[in-house]
Amino acid sequence: MGLGAFPAPHDQWLGMLGMHGTRAANYSMDEADLIVAIGARFDDRITGKLSEFAPRAKFVHIDVDPAEISKNVPAHIPIVGDAKKILPKLTTEYRALKADSARLDGWWQRIEGWREKYPLGYEDSEGSEIKPQYMIEALYEVTGGNAIVTSDVGQHQMWTAQYFHFNGPRRWINSGGLGTMGFGLPAAMGAKVACPDEDVVCVAGDGSVIMNIQELATCVTEKIPVKVFIMNNGYLGMVRQWQELFWDRRYSSVEMGSSPDWVKLAEAFGATGMLVEDKAELKDAMKSALETDGPVVCDVRVTPEENCYPMIPAGQAARDMVG
């Protein structure tokens, strides 16, 4: 596989999500014959079973820190340096080859076949229940897909990557595989200060947002009108999913219990609080939140025990996805 032969940008991100990437993205990583990794640390969330990760591939690993190269995955071609300087040179060399792009036609057909056979999907509810995937689709619709989106860490992060079809670069800000719960709100604040004319929304989990909720005071004081949409399922959702699938629902320390009344908490800080429990009201509520002056916290009650698929179980190869 040559440079530029990965799936489209959305699928690239989902592939690097690893555990919850699309089947098309994970299969393409699994069967690739060349992977150019730029600033990747190849942690276990990406590789799964290390000995089975991309077994056919040669690796070109670019990183400014030499300690990262070959730390987990041996690099066939290590390149130490600043990606901003390296990539233009690589691109120039590649274009000078004048390689026949048709040589990749078979590969692209294979990728399109996976996309067609394994599309993302979920069973939507017919009543008032709000599925988390639907929440993200609704947010995409009401923003026109043009918002800058931040997230915390968990299922909501994965569903946002899967169902918010980002229309361009620099629209999706999260901590990736670093697992930084509480990241979303301060990241949204920074994005809004940097891009005051853009809609900036934070998709948060009820387990993550509590860790930095005090920053609402900063938003109110400094007049930073970020919009926080809490995907509230009453659990630490990603950990709960693992305990359901691999520990026979022996739930431990995943129920949020007496979480705060988010509407009252937002109002206590001087922000606007909203509660949405009915699917029919969701889009109008989101529009209202976006149109409201100042910071807004919108508490969206979603299906409590919905799982995020596909998923690569810990220690398994990318081809061994479930769901």
Give me the sheet containing 77-80, strands edge to edge: 34-38, 58-63, 77-80
pLDDT at 125: 84
> In the chain, where does the domain assigned CATH 3.40.50.1220 lie?
9-120
What are the φ and ψ backbone dihedral angles of 88, each rounded to 5 degrees? Answer: -60, -35
> In the chain, where does the domain assigned CATH 3.40.50.970 lie?
132-301
Question: Residue range 124-129: average pLDDT?
Answer: 90
In which band, very low, low, confident or very high, does the pLDDT at 18 lie, cut at 50, 70 and 90? low
For residue 41, pLDDT beyond 90 = no
pLDDT in tens, 261-316: 999 999 999 999 999 999 999 999 999 999 999 999 999 999 999 999 988 887 78
Question: Residue range 105-121: average pLDDT?
Answer: 94
* DSSP 8-state class, residue 235: B
pLDDT in tens, 239-253: 999 899 989 999 999
pLDDT at 11: 43
pLDDT at 15: 41
- CA 293 to chain centroid, in Å, comes to 27
130 compared with 126, residue with greater pLDDT:
130
What does the chain come to in residues?
323
pLDDT in tens, 213-223: 999 999 999 99
CATH code of domain 132-301: 3.40.50.970
* DSSP 8-state class, residue 308: -
Question: Residue range 192-196: average pLDDT?
Answer: 98
290 compared with 100, residue with greater pLDDT:
290
Q: Which amino acid makes up residue 96?
A: A
pTM assigned to the model: 0.87
**Pair type for strands 296-301 and 272-276:** parallel
In which band, very low, low, confident or very high, does the pLDDT at 200 lie, cut at 50, 70 and 90? very high
Q: How far apart are CA 55 and CA 31, in angstroms?
A: 8
- Domain covering 9-120, topology: Rossmann fold (3.40.50)
pLDDT at 135: 98
Averaged pLDDT of the chain: 91
With tokens 């992977």, the residue in question is 35
| In contact, 243 and 252? CB cutoff 8 Å | yes
